[in-house]
Amino acid sequence: MRDATTCVITPVIDESGFRALGPTIHRASTIVFEDAEAYATRAKRGPDGFSYGLYGTPTTRTLAARITALAGGARSYLVPSGQGGNATALLAVLSHGDHLLLPDTCYPAMRSFAAEDLVRFGIATEYYGPTSIADLKSRLRPETALIWCKSPGSSTLEVQDLPAIAELAQDAGVLVGIDNTWGTCLGLKPIDFGFDIVVEALTKYAAGHSDVLMGAVTLRTEALAEKLRGSLGRLGIGVSPDDCALVLRGMETMPLRMAQSTRGAEALIPLLQASPAVDRVLWPALPGDPGHALWKRDFTAAAGVFSVLLAPGASDRLNAALDRLTTFAIGASWGGTRSLIAPMSVAPFRSVQPWTGEDLVLRISVGVEDVADLQDDILSFLSVLEKD
């Protein structure tokens, strides 16, 4: 063999005796075949076979298998972001003429996806009150194809009665899906309630270090999984094995990071509640929260992500207070090792129950820093907010 050929042919190494605990990263666009017949019949290899890098490598399948093991269901598919999971799940199951029910508290990008994109394909979207089964039921139509859930609600954290919604959907012969990013595949198992589609932004707790974007879609049945697999292939959507390896590594500590994040939230919330600058803290794990009973019944964990409503007048000093923070960083997204705080707007994203009062919710995501440092930071933040 001449040098230029040797340069491009990967040497075969004897791997016997080598076993590592972490996943092997298989990078490939091209997958080669043992003979002409194998190549000619590659499309028949099915969802577990390999035919082209876009459709999966052993590394991407390893992460998908871990998500399925935790979420239940038949199969999971990976997409480049959490919102990518929401959008591709809807595209795979909705058709022209269908009616979609979105909760008033859905992830904001779902509203614009429905209004700008789904509408062009002749899919009508209607919003329902997230906590009223009667309201949801009254909006069902013969052409309703999917009820979507988001529990707890975006920014305002209302908890939905998921088993009741799944039962309603099943009785009506309608698919039911959920954005389970806050609950995660550890803390909430919607497939067990009869949900057909579960989306999780792995960007948050699963990846867990604020450096990867990824989404997972888990399907209850093989038939639904096959639908999504087809759509993703035709749309040309796949994920990088390197990113999957980061998420696989992140997930090894996910239960520990989530538990620490919850402990941090429990340590910070009393300081916030005691401040005259704070009107209310919204977090379903708090006894007294309107969603607490349903959270306790259905969830086994709480994300350390909660919202704070300020007392009248306090928001005038918000920017000065935010600028005082040293341990907390100012930024969106959440579920990483660093604690984050972000002022959010709610009013433009509510249509069934208009948002009254000040259009400002502070979202706090607690990371894994020493809780005492976070408490010091919040106390200095509050001291600026409280000043007359």
User: Which residues here bind ligand PLP, judged by CB under 6 A?
Assistant: 81-83, 107, 179, 181-182, 201, 203-204, 213, 215, 333
Give the shortest CB-238-to-ligand PLP separation in angstroms. 15
2 contact partners, CB below 8 Å, separation of at least 6: none
- Cα–Cα nearest to 165, from 109, 101, 105: 101
Give the shortest CB-320-to-ligand PLP separation in angstroms. 28
Give the shortest CB-5-to-ligand PLP separation in angstroms. 43
Give the shortest CB-124-to-ligand PLP separation in angstroms. 22
Nearer to ligand PLP, 103 or 215 (CB): 215
Give the shortest CB-208-to-ligand PLP separation in angstroms. 13
Give the shortest CB-116-to-ligand PLP separation in angstroms. 16
Give the shortest CB-159-to-ligand PLP separation in angstroms. 14
Nearer to ligand PLP, 202 or 384 (CB): 202
Nearer to ligand PLP, 140 or 201 (CB): 201
Nearer to ligand PLP, 181 or 240 (CB): 181
Nearer to ligand PLP, 333 or 375 (CB): 333
Nearer to ligand PLP, 161 or 179 (CB): 179
Give the shortest CB-329-to-ligand PLP separation in angstroms. 16
Minimal CB distance residue for ligand PLP: 82
Nearer to ligand PLP, 206 or 278 (CB): 206
Nearer to ligand PLP, 199 or 314 (CB): 199
